[in-house]
Amino acid sequence: MTQRDIDNAVAKSLAAAPAPPSNASVAYEIIRPSVVAVEATTGSKGSESSSLGTGVVIAETGLILTALHVVGAAEHVTVVFFDGSQSDALVMVRQPDRDLAVLSAMTIPDDLKPATLASSASLRVGDEVIAVGNPFGVVDTVTDGIVSGLARAYTSRETGVTLKNLVQFDAAVNPGNSGGPLINRAGEVVGIVVSLLNPTSEDVFIGIGFAVPIDDTGSAIGFPPV
């Protein structure tokens, strides 16, 4: 066997080997069981309006962290878990200055898995982040990007509140992503998606999204701020 034969055999073996999974696909499989769809309904029967967002399970008891503007002053909130099961949910905490809310699901799956929360203090501009949510009702959507800025301030179009110390990122998000997790490549939650920046009146992504860093959610979920 010549060296050329060996080189050809090695090249053929390498070509046939499956490509390793991407960081985003690995992270998504970790976070997927912890992501829920959130539907908030307002108004009386026959004149109801609803909004759709995303949430992330933070406790085995069915506590869910989401964006406050997703649930607003809704009379009825429903969550849909990863296995397709549904439950009514109560709004337990409202934190307008962070645009955060904590929900409690009334009925939970037997195998409910809470997400792992990671400190956002170590985030750096250029770090890879992945957003998971339900943009425009298209469930289980994953987008990949980087942290493009830190300690940003933004006045929310939804609430009129100026949010501070936000993580800016460029993973694509759209209406329906709000309240969903921004995760690192290990599938750990480093932020909660709350807004996207668009200088026009359109609620579509043009390259800049904002998330509340997970370290700033402590008071909402019952822990002192980091």
Rounded to the nearest integer, the mean pLDDT of the chain is 89
- Report the chain's C-alpha Rg in angstroms: 20
Q: Is 99 marked active-site?
A: yes
| Residue tagged active-site, from 69, 104, 120, 156 | 69
CATH number, position 162: 2.40.10.10
Which tens digits make up the pLDDT trace of 92-128? 999 999 999 999 999 999 989 999 999 989 999 999 9
pLDDT-derived band at 221, boundaries 50, 70, 90: low
**Structural domain containing residue 146:** 128-217
CA distance 61 to 64: 9
CA distance 41 to 179: 16
- pLDDT of 224 above 50: no
> How distant, in Å, are the alpha carbons of 2, 93, 123, 157, 158 from that of 66?
63, 10, 21, 17, 14
Poorest-pLDDT segment among 14-18, 54-58, 103-107, 183-187? 14-18
| Residue tagged active-site, from 34, 99, 195, 216 | 99
Q: Is 43 domain-assigned?
A: no
Which tens digits make up the pLDDT trace of 168-204? 999 999 999 999 999 999 999 999 999 998 877 777 8
Q: Is 85 domain-assigned?
A: no
Share of the chain above pLDDT 70, in %: 92
Q: Is 186 domain-assigned?
A: yes
Q: Is 185 domain-assigned?
A: yes
- pLDDT of 4 above 60: yes
How many domains are contained in the chain? 1
Q: Is 178 marked active-site?
A: yes
Averaged pLDDT, 74-84 = 93
- pLDDT of 158 above 80: no
Q: Is 159 domain-assigned?
A: yes
pTM of the model: 0.86
